[in-house]
Structure 1
Amino acid sequence: MTAPDPKRIGAWPKLRPSNAGDIERIDRLLRQSYPRLLKPDYPPSVLVTAIPLIARAQPDLIKCGTYYVAEDRDGAIVGAGGWTQSIPGAGGREPGRGNIRHVVTDHSRVRQGIGRALMAHTLASARSEGMTWMHCVSTRTAVPFYASLGFTAMGEVSIPIGPAGIGFPAVEMRCDL
């Protein structure tokens, strides 16, 4: 994987670990971007239920040390994402397995290399911590992006969200490091 050309994206995003002070800004990024990014691939009936539940920053994730933000020259957060060894929703760990977590790019800044820079950093971090493969539960929208990074689809899944057990359609993917 090669880093994006800074001339092409205008300003190379500054990547850093997220912290508790970023929660409100990440919340805003998720609330503004997820509805616009996911709209082409999900029916309104799914989005009206899912968006309020999935477009929220996860404080424990943000403070874990392996979740990152991308900032533009003005310090605005234009992307976020990272990884954990702990398996989302299930807890526990599997030797060598890392898990991609809650990746988002500002909807007005897609295709500028921000997501690719975040993922390059995330994968390098996981590799340096001894992970040999990465697991990802991708939105339908992000499948082509993850495929371009070397992830392969393992199959469709339904992620239970909300108290009524409503399912959010997604695609399980993996990538060997």
Structure 2
Amino acid sequence: MIRVRPAERSDMAAVDALLARSYPRLLKPDYPPSVLVTALPLISRAQPALFGCGTYYVAEEEDLIRGAGGWTRDRSRQDLGHIRHVVTDHRALRRGVGRALVAHALAEARAAGISEMECWSTRTAAAFYAAMGFQSEGPMQVPLQAGISFPAIRMRQRLS
């Protein structure tokens, strides 16, 4: 059984390890090595600002963190939310972990007055987000650091 709960600062090391072991395996089929060698060190680390914010969650199964992800409100548009840093343990794919996390995030965002959710999906996760009701708006580049960007797909879903 999968249990979703708000992430706490004490979960950061476990999520960091989850990202570090899963993102390289999950993204490898959809990105060339030249992209992964520069992007993985930047994207496969837990983002401290998300922990303790109340809208970033972990999914546990058998007392192990099997996934993480959440949402945040847009800084300039109060009814827009953004899916944030979702990961599922590569050893727990197709067991409902990602679905439980994203469904929970969408329900919580809707309850908080968010009417539209945006997602900057990896190429790997685009089919998953489409199955969750998101529609593709096309390719984009996510700036990670000066001179380093990551190819992604902008996706959107109306919540109301």
Same fold (TM over 0.5): yes
Distance in 1 (alpha carbons) for counterparts of 2:81 and 2:144: 22
**What residue ranges of structure 1 are gaps of 5+ in the alignment?**
1-11, 87-91
SS of corresponding position for 2:70:
strand
Establish whether residue 77 from structure 1 lines up as the match of residue 65 from structure 2: yes
Equivalent pairs, count: 159
Paired residue type of 2:77: E
Give the superposition deviation at 1:93: 2.7
> Could you tell me which amino acid in structure 2 is paired with residue 150 of structure 1?
G
Q: 3-state DSSP class of the match of 2:59?
A: strand
Does residue 21 of structure 1 match 2:6?
A: no
1:176 aligns with 2:158: yes
Q: Where does residue 115 of structure 1 map in the other structure?
A: 98
Of residues 132, 135, 142 in structure 1, which corresponds to 2:115? 132
User: % of aligned pairs identical?
Assistant: 57
| Corresponding position of 1:154 | 137
Runs of 4+ in 1 over 6 A off after TM superposition: none
Counterpart selection for 2:24 from 9, 15, 35? 35
Larger strand fraction of residues: 2
1:70 match: secondary structure:
strand
Q: CA deviation at 1:166?
A: 1.3
Partner residue, 2:42: 53
Cα distance in 2 for residues equivalent to 1:62 and 1:98: 17
Amino acid at match of 2:73: Q
> How far 1:63 sits from its partner (Å)?
1.6
TM (norm. structure 2) is 0.97
RMSD: 0.8
The 3-state SS of whatever aligns with 2:38 is helix
- Give, in whole Å, the separation in 2 of the partners of 1:66 and 1:26: 15
Equivalence for 1:106: 89
**Alignment-derived partner of residue 4 in structure 1:** none
1:95 deviates by: 2.9
The runs of 5 or more residues in structure 2 that have no matched partner are none
Match of 2:128 among 124, 145, 150: 145
* Partner-residue secondary structure (3-state), 1:57: coil
3-state DSSP class of the match of 1:47?
Answer: helix
Q: Quote the Cα distance in structure 2 between the aligned partners of 1:63 and 1:33.
A: 23
